[in-house]
Structure 1
Amino acid sequence: MKISNLSAQSGLSIDTLRFYEKIGLIDPPPRDGAGHRDYPPEAPNWIRFLSQLNATGMKQADRIRYARLRAAGVTTVPQRRQMLEEHREVIRAQLEQLTDVLALMDRKVEIYQKLEEEMTDV
């Protein structure tokens, strides 16, 4: 898969993909006969996973660490599992906080709806 296709499929710019290679988030792909990057078929799935980790607030340094562990092979499975378990707890805490904030927003909206109703009744 060429870099332009991967860019279109992942939603990441070509510059971002090159940067990800530079910092070790994605492995530099082999080159074709013309010297163009030729990403393996599994590249979009890996990039999607990295994007999901990013969306949950995982720091770039931790994503790089995870990518390096993944590249090191199966002997790092326990470390990768532990990283994901720890991050899962961070996500749970975020969800709990967001649930509380959502409940507050629901209450506030209800108050304003009642105030608006009272204004139209006058």
Structure 2
Amino acid sequence: MTIAEVSKKLNISADTLRYYERIGLIPAVPRNKSGIRNYDDNSIGWINFIKCMKKAGLTIEVLIEYVSLYQQGDSTKETRKSLLIEQRKELLDRIEELKETLEYLNKKIEKYDEITVNEKKLK
């Protein structure tokens, strides 16, 4: 697939794809005879992985470290796993904070609902 096709399919800009490749987040993308990027399933898999991990809150630096470790081979499996476990813990902490924030907002909204009901009763 061309960069334009991947960009459209995965909803990610061509500039971002080039940037990810340049900084090592995506292993080198195969190219056709004319030197044009020809994204294969492996490249698409890496892009999807990066998008997912970014949604989870991983920084570019952590992602670069992960990809670098991956490229070093099986000897880094435990390090990679530890990195992902730590990121999962941070994500769970963020989810807990968001739940608390949601609970607070719900209580504030309930207060406004109570005020509205009481105002209608007074009329």
Smaller-chain TM-score bracket:
over 0.9
1:5 matches 2:5: yes
Report the CA distance between 1:47 and its aligned residue: 1.2
Please state how far the C-alpha of 1:2 moved relative to its aligned partner: 1.5
Gaps of 5+ in 1: none
TM-score by length of 1: 0.92
Q: How many equivalent pairs are there?
A: 122
Q: Give, in whole Å, the separation in 1 of the partners of 2:67 and 2:93.
A: 24
Of all paired residues, the percent bearing the same amino acid is 31
Partner Cα distance (1:74, 1:53) in 2: 21
Q: Is the 8 A contact 1:2 1:36 kept in 2?
A: yes
- Residue by residue, what CA displacement relative to the aligned partner does 1:82-118 show, whole Å, maximum 9, x if unpaired? 0000011101111111111111111111110111112
Correspondence 1:113 to 2:113: yes
2:53 aligned counterpart, secondary structure: helix
Distance 1:2 1:117 in 2: 59
User: For the Cα contact (< 8 Å) 1:9–1:44, is it kept in 2?
Assistant: no
Structure 1 residue 9: deviation in Å? 1.7
Residue 56 (structure 2) pairs with residue 81 (structure 1):
no
Please say if 1:51 is aligned against 2:51.
Answer: yes
TM-score, scaled relative to structure 2: 0.92
Two-structure CA RMSD over aligned residues (Å) = 1.2
Alignment of 1:53-72 (within 5 A): 53-72=53-72
1:102 maps to a residue whose letter is L
